[in-house]
A and B are shown apart, each in its own frame.
Chain A
Amino acid sequence: MRALVDEKIRHMPAAQRAQSWTGFDANFSEHLGAAGFIGMHWPEHYGGRSCPAIERYIVIEELLAAGAPVGAHWIADRQSGTHLINYANPSARNACLPGIASGKLFFCIGMSEPNSGSDLASISTRAVRVDGGWRIRGAKLWTTHVTRAHMMIALVRTSDADHARHQGLSQFLIDLSLPGITVNGITDQTGEKHFGEVFLDDVFVTDDCLIGTEGEGWQQVNDELSLERSGPERYLSSYRLIPEFLDTLQVDADDIGACTLGEIVAELWTLRQMSMSVAGQICNGADPSLEAAMVKDLGATFEQELPHRIQACLDGGEDNIRYAQLLPVLDYLLNAAPSFSLRGGTREILRGIIARGLGLR
């Protein structure tokens, strides 16, 4: 795999590799799928290889460290595929999983809406039962890669939440090419059309597009979020900066540069130990959700501070040739970093989860 990745990224500028797991390259995903590195922990009949989850963990670590453009298949490989295996009916699974594993079928996550961010249970997109299926009406927002994805797993309301607000929610598998769907990209502050909005205007989906059980959407979406929150990408988003920074230190480093590098690597090493420990527990069938939330919050804080820490110890010789690789990476990550503690659940929401785990809520 290192060879495959090396060939792909050799000519990619560092700033592009800095996009890490949001870098979208359908061609690369197809190559990776053909080589058997997507859905590798799924059963063979879904296009997987039944690998132990820890093997997949090591593969995705390598991809992230190299700065491979894994964004196109990332969401499907990390959460949507596994979520379908856990909850969807056989026809939906058979329709999607082989395509995901071959790196050709891309997914997006339809949770947030214009009026529902952190308070996800307040969503207002609705599905109403009709003959042979459901009609869905509403809008989703901040949907990563929505303009380039084929399918969306959406959380919608299927009945009113009269008593408990977490009731009456359900999940649907929605083909984004269906009639009634409008998709617009939204340019983020790095200049990318990373995410977008989706309008669903009475979109008809068949019965087998209901994922899991009607009304159980809240529990299901939380399971999906656990898949989303526990991976190594949650502390490696700014990794590109570390090797580039290290390379600037080879010539005449001062103590400040060396100290900063030492601290960063001590934190990186610790996060990796913590993250592997969470992965190991998941492999053993445990549910380390408290630990996973702690690792994500610590990891997001680390990757968010990293560009600032490195900027702070540059020595004023930025016109120097030795900064040629580092500076574009730094520029990009300074701009991208504010999102690291928003996407996948904000810092405040995570700390609430941790406090619950500590017995405070």
Chain B
Amino acid sequence: MNSDNALLIDMVRKLCKELSQTQMDATDGGSMSREHLWQKVEDFGLPYFMLPADAGGFDGGWATAAKLFQLFGEYALPLPVGETMIARHYMHRAQSLSPQELPKLEEVPISLAHCSDAIITLNGDVPLLSGALRNAAWTPQSNLLVSATIGDRSVLALLARDQLVTRSVCEVDTFRNTAAEPRAHLRWRRLPLTALWHMPTFTNLMTAGALLRSAQMSGAMQSILSRSINYALERKQFGRAIGKFQVIQHDLARLAEQVAAAQCAALSAARAADTEGGTEAAEFEIAAAKLRTNIAVAPATTIAHQVHGAIGFTLEHPLHQFTQRLFAWRSDFGNDRYWALTLGNSLRQLSGVDLWPFLTARSDRQVVARQAGDGDEDGTAGNSVNGSESRAHPSVG
């Protein structure tokens, strides 16, 4: 990682620490509102992270962004920061291709979704959107950027928050997911769109969302691993730290393996998105990464809770902030069934002998591209397994 990135990641870590601390204080009777927290994110400039420098951004690619997504998971940020970063990135690209007049967005987050049954009709010049979304994240509190495929063309539509609650054209069924994050099922009937972009290349925000969640999940897993190790060294039973019992040691070893796999998968997929020219082109790697992090959820959360005993089962203890998010995020932007079928059905086009060349050609191309370009943030293909130099030994802290 170059030093600029290390510095930036450090600053974001500090911000995450501060925000998660403020948030926890707030639940203790303080009055820190979500709006207030979000303002700090805006002040930092995080939503614009993936924009070019001349557009006021940090020029952040997917690989660096994924490290930030991991931090959002590691600190259980109760805000759609990653969604907004990705939405701003797509909107900037769309705007530079075909500028549109944007609806007025307050400084509130922008969430992401892909609508697979969208229909667009016209009322005079005004495009109207019909379609439905299930389990849409952070709506209708946030604005929403939606991708859709109309015929053989991709479009992006931006829906401002106030539009999402217009009763006449929008049915909203809100609920809280397992981690008490806001979710909604939405149905639009001829919702007038103020901003609709026709995209020149295939665009699907579900894939970008899957990369985001996969990285967040690997970050949340890092947190439950460090917490579990610390607790095992601290908690004494039968006259010694429970971490001295071989069964506990082996459980924690298995937990560490799952975390390493999740982190390596998420970061490798993010690097693939950089070298393949976008998340859609890296759908194979992102599908594999989301599926692999999903698979890690059950063993990782089960072990973390087991090691923590009853205290970890209380509302007061922070463990559930991470484990509940992992339960919930497993279903976001494609659950296991979705990605396993997507992968399985696309691989079935290959014959058996072509599988290995397919796998290696993709990753080798990515390694070569990284070594040739300056986009190589880790120096070589040989970054550490769990992806983060500062955490190569995920022991204490």
Real binding pair: yes
Name A's B-contacting residues (CB within 8 A).
58, 61-62, 65-66, 239, 242-247, 249-250, 253, 255, 257-263, 265-274, 276-284, 286, 288, 290-291, 294-295, 297-298, 348, 350-352, 354-355, 357-361
A360 to B252: give the CA distance in the assembly, Å. Answer: 9
B57-107: which residues lie under 8 A (CB-CB) from chain A? none
Q: Is B384 an interface residue (CB 8 A)?
A: yes
A360 to B355: give the CA distance in the assembly, Å. Answer: 40
A255 to B348: give the CA distance in the assembly, Å. Answer: 11
B370-384: which residues lie under 8 A (CB-CB) from chain A? 380-384
Query: Which one of A66, A263, A352 has the highest number of Cβ atoms from chain B below 10 Å of its Cβ?
Result: A263
Name B's A-contacting residues (CB within 8 A).
229, 232-233, 243-244, 246, 248-250, 252-254, 256-257, 260-261, 264-265, 268, 285, 287-289, 291-292, 295, 336-337, 339-345, 347-348, 350-353, 355-356, 359-360, 363-364, 380-386, 392-396
Picked from B248, B337, B348, the residue with its CB within 8 Å of the CB of A249 is B348
Task: Give the chain A neighbours of B355 by CB distance below 8 A.
Answer: 242-243, 246, 265
Q: Give 18 A-B pairs besides A253-B345, A262-B345, A360-B233 with Cβ atoms closer than 8 angstroms.
A: A58-B360, A62-B356, A242-B352, A247-B351, A253-B344, A258-B344, A266-B292, A269-B265, A276-B363, A277-B381, A277-B384, A280-B381, A283-B380, A291-B260, A291-B392, A295-B385, A351-B249, A358-B256
Task: Give the chain A neighbours of B385 by CB distance below 8 A.
Answer: 274, 277-278, 288, 291, 294-295
Task: Give the chain A neighbours of B345 by CB distance below 8 A.
Answer: 253, 258, 262
A273 touches B254 (CB 8 A): no
Task: Give the chain A neighbours of B287 by CB distance below 8 A.
Answer: 262, 266
B359 touches A269 (CB 8 A): yes
Task: Give the chain B neighbours of A357 by CB distance below 8 A.
Answer: 393, 395
User: How many pairs, one residue from A and one from B, have CB atoms within 8 Å of each other in the complex?
Assistant: 190
B340 touches A274 (CB 8 A): no
Q: A255-B341, A270-B261, A274-B261 are in contact. Are A261 and B347 (CB under 8 A)?
A: yes
Q: A280-B383, A294-B256 are in contact. Are A352 and B246 (CB under 8 A)?
A: yes
A185 to B396: give the CA distance in the assembly, Å. Answer: 48
Report the minimal beta-carbon distance from B261 to chain A, rounded to whole angstroms. 5
Report the minimal beta-carbon distance from A351 to chain B, rounded to whole angstroms. 4
Report the minimal beta-carbon distance from A152 to chain B, rounded to whole angstroms. 32
B264 touches A270 (CB 8 A): yes
Picked from A243, A255, A270, A294, the residue with its CB within 8 Å of the CB of B352 is A243
A269 touches B288 (CB 8 A): yes
A262 touches B342 (CB 8 A): yes
B382 touches A250 (CB 8 A): no
Report the minimal beta-carbon distance from A278 to chain B, rounded to whole angstroms. 6
The 8 closest A-B pairs by CB, nearest first: A280-B382, A243-B352, A258-B344, A262-B340, A262-B344, A262-B343, A355-B249, A359-B395
Picked from B233, B336, B353, B382, the residue with its CB within 8 Å of the CB of A359 is B233
B386 touches A291 (CB 8 A): yes
Nearest CB to that of A2 among chain B residues? B357
Task: Give the chain B neighbours of A286 by CB distance below 8 A.
Answer: 382
A265 touches B341 (CB 8 A): no
Nearest CB to that of A236 among chain B residues? B356
Nearest CB to that of A326 among chain B residues? B352
Task: Give the chain B neighbours of A244 by CB distance below 8 A.
Answer: 352
A266 touches B339 (CB 8 A): yes
